[in-house]
Amino acid sequence: MPELPEVEVIRRGLAPRLVGRRFLTVMSGDKRLRQASSPQELARWLPGRRLERLTRRGKYLVFALEGGVTLLIHLGMTGRLLMGVPPGHGPHVHVFFTLEDGLTLAFQDVRRFGRILVFPPGTPIFPLEQVGREPFSRRVTPEWLAEVARGRSRPLKNFLLDGRILAGIGNIYACEIMFAAGLHPAIPAGVLSLSDWARVLQETRRILRRAIRRGGTTVNDYLNSHGETGLFQVELMVYGREEEVCKQCGKTIKRLVQAGRSTFFCPRCQPKKRHFR
Ligand SMILES: [Zn+2]
C-alpha cells in the first residue's frame, strides 16, 4: 500500500510534466472503485482546464485545476498513476486522461481500493478534513504528540497508524519508525515521555525523507509514475523480516498482530520492560 513517501515520489514525478498543461479528455471504465465521481462528473469538470498545482495531503494527491476545481486521487492498496500508457490499453486501467502535448495519464488499480473524486468550485473537500497533520509540518512537535497521546492506552503502533493524527504513515513506516526509536510496538501511547516523542518524531522525519530520496518502498505492487520500482526496501530493518536476523543486534525479528495488521519488531532493540512494570 503506498504510504506518504510513495505518494510524494509519484507527485514529484508527475508535477513537472503535468502542471501548466490542460486536461483534454477523461474516460472512465465501468468497474467500481472504492470511491469515485461518476464518469459524467469527471467529464463535466476536467476537460479544458489547466492544472495549476499538484500537491499532496497525507496519502492523497491533490490536483488543483483552474477555476477552483479540485481532483483528488487516493491510490488505495494497489493504485498506480502511469504516464505514457497508450489509450485504451493496459489492464486494470479505470480512468484514462489525455492532456495537452500528447500526454496521457492512466489510473490503474488491480484491487480497486483507490479513490478518484472531483470537487466543483466552492465545495468542501471533505476527505481532506479527516487528514491529520503532515509529519514535516512545524505544527508537529514532541509536545503536541505527547499532548495528543496523553491518557491514551492504545498501543504506539496504532497511534502512529492513525491518519487523523499524523498523516500518511502506514504499516511499513510505522514498524521502521518504532524500530529506529527503540520502542516496543505495544507500549501504550500515553506512557511515552517527551524525549521518547522527540525520538519518534526525529526518526519519522529521517526515515520518510530517506525513503522519498530512494524512490519509495516496493514490497508488492508499487511503481512510480515512470513505471519504476522504489529502492528503500533494501534498507528495511524490520518490516517483512520475521524470523530473519536483526541487522543491528543479531537477534531474531518477531511478528505480532495489532488491529489486524502485522507488526515486525526486534525484541532486543525494542525492549518492553522499560515501559511495562
Ligand atoms: Zn535488534
Dist. CA 216 → ligand 1 center (Å): 23
What pLDDT score does 85 carry?
82
> How do 93-99 and 104-109 pair as beta strands?
antiparallel
Nearby residues of 191 by Cβ (< 8 Å), 6 or more positions away: 275
Dist. CA 170 → ligand 1 center (Å): 22
Nearby residues of 22 by Cβ (< 8 Å), 6 or more positions away: 48, 49, 50, 51, 99, 100
Fill in the amino acid letter for 23. F
Nearby residues of 64 by Cβ (< 8 Å), 6 or more positions away: 51, 52, 53, 54, 55, 70
| Burial per residue of 213-234, b for 16 or more beta-carbon CB atoms within 10 angstroms, e otherwise | ebbbbbeebbbbbeeeebebbe
Residues classed as catalytic:
2-3, 59, 261
Decide which of 157 and 112 is more confident.
Answer: 157
Fill in the amino acid letter for 80. R
Q: What is the 3-state secondary structure (H, E, C) of the chain?
A: CCCHHHHHHHHHHHHHHHCCCEEEEEEECCCCCCEECCHHHHHHHCCCCEEEEEEEECCEEEEEECCCEEEEEECCCCEEEEECCCCCCCCCEEEEEEEHHHCEEEEEECCCCCEEEEECCCCCCHHHHCCCECCCCCCCCHHHHHHHHCCCCCEHHHHHHCCCCECCCCHHHHHHHHHHHCCCCCCEHHHCCHHHHHHHHHHHHHHHHHHHHCCCCCCCCCCCCCCCCCCHHHHCCCCCCCCCECCCCCCECEEEEECCEEEEECCCCCCCCCCCC
Which cell numbers hold the place of 218? 516496493
Provide the pLDDT confidence category of residue 93 given band limits of 50, 70 and 90: confident
Mean pLDDT over 196-222 rounds to 94
Distance CA 14, CA 81 (A): 9
Dist. CA 175 → ligand 1 center (Å): 13
What pLDDT score does 162 carry?
97
Mean pLDDT over 167-186 rounds to 97
What pLDDT score does 277 carry?
47
What pLDDT score does 112 carry?
85
| Average pLDDT value for the chain | 94
Mean pLDDT over 182-209 rounds to 97
pLDDT tens-digit readout, 107-136: 988 888 899 999 999 999 999 999 999 999
Distance CA 101, CA 241 (A): 45
Mean pLDDT over 29-47 rounds to 90
What pLDDT score does 225 carry?
87
Alpha carbon 102 to its chain centroid, in Å, reads 29
Dist. CA 225 → ligand 1 center (Å): 35
Mean pLDDT over 26-41 rounds to 88
Dist. CA 249 → ligand 1 center (Å): 4
What pLDDT score does 276 carry?
59
Dist. CA 37 → ligand 1 center (Å): 47
Query: Is 221's pLDDT higher than 90?
Result: no
Dist. CA 77 → ligand 1 center (Å): 29
Do the Cβ atoms of 244 and 253 come closer than 8 Å?
yes
Percent of the chain residues topping a pLDDT of 90: 82
What pLDDT score does 150 carry?
96
pLDDT tens-digit readout, 63-73: 999 999 999 99
Percent of the chain residues topping a pLDDT of 70: 98
Distance CA 240, CA 262 (A): 9
Query: Is 36's pLDDT higher than 90?
Result: no
The separation between the first and the last C-alpha atoms of the chain, rounded to the nearest angstrom, is 36
Dist. CA 266 → ligand 1 center (Å): 5
What pLDDT score does 122 carry?
95
